């Protein structure tokens, strides 16, 4: 069943240049039935949002900064989120912010059975990231290449924000494969991807320059990949750790 998602955006914490790509990304996970952005719209710095909000049908919510140094936007967004939760109109939330103040909100929404997606910059504190079911770095959404899906999946994405595939990431992937592998060491890659996401909400192949998980796995010499025929249209992809060769003396 498709998620009905409430998209709540912290206007003080998210660059306006990313909104179009952000809304396209959210649409992959469900139907954004509620779209709101919070901020003090009397501030000149937020004037550039006007056309962007109209183009994406996002409702601006005015929140005055009553006290210097206090973020009234956070409070308004949290109160609205709880009102929406109890209305029963949505089955998921997308919280767009790089602010750790929303950590408790994300946790509370998940406790209520909501699917929670977080979107923010790479500077987002880890407590907020792990409080979400999935967390997407907004930097990887900018500068997408309009290429054929197949060819683009076979090479790294063109971005200056690519993270290195470190030994700790390789160990993390290997452990996850081992967790669900059969007696021969093979694991269905779809299940591997799901478990990676559960263990690390901000795990995304695009963080490492790949549009899909399969080419990321294939780029690491430690694994072997097998495509198996099935009754459907696409082949099923399985992965396992390469077996160490024995030295015959």
Task: Please determine, for residue 186, whether its predicted confidence score (pLDDT) is greater than 50.
Answer: yes
| Pairing mode, strands 236-241 and 223-228 | antiparallel
Residues 92 and 198 grouped into a single domain: no
Task: Please determine, for residue 161, whether its predicted confidence score (pLDDT) is greater than 70.
Answer: no
pTM, two decimals, is 0.82
Residues 176 and 129 grouped into a single domain: no
Range of the domain at 133: 3-141
Residues 130 and 176 grouped into a single domain: no
Tokens 């006007």, residue located = 50
Number of structural domains the chain divides into: 2
Task: Please determine, for residue 205, whether its predicted confidence score (pLDDT) is greater than 60.
Answer: yes
Residue 154 binned pLDDT confidence (cut-offs 50, 70, 90): very low
Q: End-to-end CA distance of the chain, in Å?
A: 58
Lowest mean pLDDT among 1-15, 35-49, 79-93, 191-205: 35-49
CA gap 179, 187 in Å, rounded: 9
Task: Please determine, for residue 190, whether its predicted confidence score (pLDDT) is greater than 50.
Answer: yes
CB 12 within 8 A of CB 68: no
Which of 91, 120, 141 is the C-terminal boundary of a domain? 141
Tell me the pLDDT tens digit for each residue of 9-20: 998 788 888 888
pLDDT of 231 reads 75
Tell me the pLDDT tens digit for each residue of 13-71: 888 888 889 999 999 999 999 999 998 887 776 677 878 888 899 999 987 765 454 45
């Amino acid at each position: 069943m498709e998620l009905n998602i409430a998209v709540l955006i912290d206007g003080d914490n998210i660059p306006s240049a990313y909104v179009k790509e952000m809304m396209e990304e959210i649409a992959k996970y469900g139907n954004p039935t509620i779209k709101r952005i919070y901020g003090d719209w009397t501030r000149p710095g937020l004037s550039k949002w006007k056309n962007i909000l109209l183009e994406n049908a996002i409702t601006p919510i005015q929140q005055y900064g009553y006290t210097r140094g206090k973020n009234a936007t956070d409070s308004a967004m949290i109160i609205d989120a709880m009102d929406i939760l109890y209305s029963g109109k949505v089955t998921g939330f997308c919280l767009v912010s790089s602010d750790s103040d929303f950590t408790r909100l994300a946790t509370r929404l998940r406790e209520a059975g909501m699917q929670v997606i977080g979107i923010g910059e790479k500077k987002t504190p880890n407590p907020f990231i792990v409080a979400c079911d999935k967390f997407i770095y907004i930097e990887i959404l900018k500068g997408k290449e309009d290429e054929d899906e197949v060819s683009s999946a076979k090479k790294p994405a063109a971005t200056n924000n690519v993270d290195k595939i470190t030994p700790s990431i390789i160990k993390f992937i290997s452990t996850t494969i081992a967790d669900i592998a059969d007696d021969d060491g093979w694991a269905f890659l779809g299940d591997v991807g799901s478990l990676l996401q559960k263990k690390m909400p901000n795990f995304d192949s695009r963080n490492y320059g790949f549009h899909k998980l399969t080419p990321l796995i294939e780029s690491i010499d430690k694994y072997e990949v097998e495509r198996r025929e099935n009754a459907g249209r696409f082949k099923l992809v399985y992965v396992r750790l390469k077996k160490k060769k024995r030295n015959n003396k």
